Structure 1
């Protein structure tokens, strides 16, 4: 497991070199079918990540944000979002990260077992990483979720919530906002780093995809937290929503998202 993690970190650092070269520079921006931006940096980063990983693990498959799927039915598949937060990258502010996760596919089950989330331009650089059974770290230091057990003491972050806001659950989300101690909207990688390191207590989010949160799922679980879809289903390749907590608040928050309409198609994050 450690070898998988070490190689994922090496791949993230390879992408970081490319990110630093392009950040705040001039580059062309194209738009995909869903109107989300993509740059030459996104593509170069994903190629660099794949090069590192495929050299170490030639039998592994890939599911990448920019380059698509390759041997996606392999026992081990790497999930890659080279620049999660391209809009931030393009506009020159540091709320973006490289997300790399490893999925173990046994045929009967799929399990995320390694996660690296690297935000090289944020606050001097912030890397969170974890592997199953090895705990979670932030910039090399062990991290754990907070011990908060009461809603009136909890800090809640709302991420992308467009679909949630249009759902039957929205009135109860408003009630939840009035019950917690503090409400924030950190978004992207950052509120997951905060949750895993004990600085906020829960996250509610819609309008994302698995590549946005696969690595963060491993990191949060290894830090002592829990994460599912809003309806309680396990995180999987078709995940579009998240309820994540410090591992102590789930039972208190779940009733407020119980009316989430799981038949609604949330757009990609």
Structure 2
């Protein structure tokens, strides 16, 4: 472990991240109850004053503790230059937020030299708070998290999908159909929820083909500390350019990845 990433430093940084998530919750809860005007960003996704105010609240807490770190937020982009980069999505699931149902969350992660080393996933209105730091295990509402021991696609296997629009145009689409036919349960829980369920061992695999790193950064370390393998659909390590997800227990992840690779190789 780098001397910059001692357990003491990571514990302190995690405490600060949890405090930042709590600050965002106070902002979000007020706007969630009162309602907000919705704007459309150039990429056609919605944004509200709650998104911007929550991001500002998060950054204020983080900057007081780590003024020399860099920041990459969903609403304000990247600021600063440092080996330490905070990744912030103040409201992941704004479409749910503006329509008044609680499938949205605040996502905060710390990346050190391109590796995600801690994360907080706060679904305040749903009532779940998950967190992890490298080497410290993964937790949800103070209960230790552990993924299932699923190793193959069987009638007992449960998988969940997020957005798979890009995958539907891919050579792997038929392979996904074959996987679905062998599983006992398929759902599209999406957003933070299926990652929390995966970390708890309630479902066995998550597949997504259209994500942004800010949507998933904290969930990478949370799932890994819960015993999962978390890559993109090509098996690559998550990074700032990641757009897809394959996550699950090691044996099941390996089987899914092998089948997807076989589809691509022809």
Task: Give the TM-score band, short-chain normalised.
Answer: over 0.9
Whether 1:227 aligns to 2:230 is: yes
Which residue number in structure 2 is paired with residue 95 of structure 1?
103
Which residue number in structure 2 is paired with residue 149 of structure 1?
151
Classify the secondary structure of the residue corresponding to 2:22: helix
Whether 1:117 aligns to 2:121 is: yes
Which residue number in structure 1 is paired with residue 131 of structure 2?
129
Map of 1:243-262 to 2, 5 A cutoff? Answer: 243-258=246-261
How far does the alpha carbon of each residue in 1:114-147 deviate from its partner, in whole angstroms, 9 at most, with x for none? 100000111xx10000000000000111111111
Classify the secondary structure of the residue corresponding to 1:237: coil
CA shift for structure 1 position 247: 2.3
How far does the alpha carbon of each residue in 1:146-175 deviate from its partner, in whole angstroms, 9 at most, with x for none? 112231032111111000011111111100
RMSD value over aligned CA atoms?
1.4
Segments of 5+ residues of structure 1 without an aligned counterpart are 262-269
Q: Is the 8 A contact 1:46 1:66 kept in 2?
A: yes
1:38 and 1:258 mapped to 2: Cα distance?
Answer: 37
Which residue number in structure 1 is paired with residue 3 of structure 2?
none
Q: Tell me the number of residue pairs that the alignment of Structure 1 and Structure 2 aligns.
A: 255
2:62 and 2:175 mapped to 1: Cα distance?
Answer: 44
Q: Residues 30 and 259 (structure 1 numbering): CA distance in 2 closer, same or farther, change over 3 Å?
A: farther
Which residue number in structure 1 is paired with residue 12 of structure 2?
3
CA shift for structure 1 position 40: 0.2
Q: Is the 8 A contact 2:175 2:263 kept in 1?
A: no
Which residue number in structure 2 is paired with residue 163 of structure 1?
166
1:111 and 1:57 mapped to 2: Cα distance?
Answer: 18
Give 1 or 2: higher helix fraction. Answer: 2
Whether 1:40 aligns to 2:42 is: no
Classify the secondary structure of the residue corresponding to 2:242: coil
2:129 and 2:214 mapped to 1: Cα distance?
Answer: 17
Which residue number in structure 2 is paired with residue 267 of structure 1?
none
Map of 1:15-30 to 2, 5 A cutoff? Answer: 15-30=24-39
Classify the secondary structure of the residue corresponding to 2:44: coil
Tell me the TM-score normalised to structure 2 length: 0.93
1:93 and 1:50 mapped to 2: Cα distance?
Answer: 26
Q: Which moved more, 1:146-155 or 1:77-86?
A: 146-155
Which residue number in structure 1 is paired with residue 194 of structure 2?
191
Whether 1:138 aligns to 2:136 is: no
How far does the alpha carbon of each residue in 1:192-214 deviate from its partner, in whole angstroms, 9 at most, with x for none? 00111111110111111100110
Classify the secondary structure of the residue corresponding to 1:248: helix
How far does the alpha carbon of each residue in 1:15-41 deviate from its partner, in whole angstroms, 9 at most, with x for none? 000111011423211111111000000
